[in-house]
């Protein structure tokens, strides 16, 4: 598959290091099936330029992903998503992605001055709204 843009969203005000945000978003895309085995990732330099971050930040993220055996860099050929990890690894990636999303949500909500009860209530309302929407969709089918 040709090299593709990842279109990652980096929050420079977040408490999470940029390399962690990169790792979390690539893991989430793999867990969701948006990135599949054999998909080529941008080079470290290209991704650093796209995100407007330091080359070494992206290199660190790629190193972590490589150590997790999620990607493989082949000298002279590029960086690719590896074969799908075993189910237990995929489940761990899903859980890590959920944790990262939750951390970002909570950090941003707290940064905006919301209290714990307000954050909890908002989350409960969103979960209920999604359940209601799914129920309505199933009824309409």
Q: How do residues 92-141 score in pLDDT, each as one tens digit?
A: 777 777 887 888 889 889 999 999 999 999 999 999 998 988 888 888 87
For residue 13, being part of any structural domain is answered with no
DSSP run (H or E) holding 79:
strand 78-81
Query: Are the C-beta atoms of residues 24 and 18 closer than 8 Å to each other?
Result: no
Residue 21: is it exposed, middle or buried by C-beta count within 10 angstroms (0-12/13-18/19+)?
A: buried
**Predicted pLDDT of residue 1:** 45
SS3 38: coil
pTM of the model: 0.64
User: Tell me, what CATH number does 40's domain have?
Assistant: 1.10.10.10
Neighbour tally for 116: CB within 10 Å = 10
> Does the pLDDT of residue 85 top 80, yes or no?
no
For residue 2, being part of any structural domain is answered with no
CA angle 70, 75, 78 (to 5 degrees): 55
Question: Which structural domain, as residue segments, surrounds residue 79?
Answer: 18-140
| Domains held by the chain: number | 1
For residue 38, being part of any structural domain is answered with yes
């Amino acid at each position: 598959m040709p090299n593709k843009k990842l279109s990652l969203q980096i929050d420079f005000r977040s408490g999470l290091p940029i390399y962690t945000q990169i790792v979390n978003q690539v893991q989430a895309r793999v867990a969701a099936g948006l990135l599949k085995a054999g998909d080529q990732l941008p080079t470290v330099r290209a991704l650093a330029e796209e995100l407007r971050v330091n080359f070494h930040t992206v290199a660190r993220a790629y190193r972590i992903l490589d150590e997790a055996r999620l990607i493989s860099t082949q000298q002279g050929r590029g960086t690719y998503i590896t074969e799908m990890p075993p189910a237990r690894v995929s489940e761990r990636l899903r859980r890590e992605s959920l944790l990262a999303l939750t951390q970002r949500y909570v950090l941003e909500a707290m940064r905006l001055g919301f209290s714990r009860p307000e954050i909890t209530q908002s989350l409960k309302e969103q979960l209920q709204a999604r359940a209601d929407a799914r129920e309505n969709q199933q009824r309409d089918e």
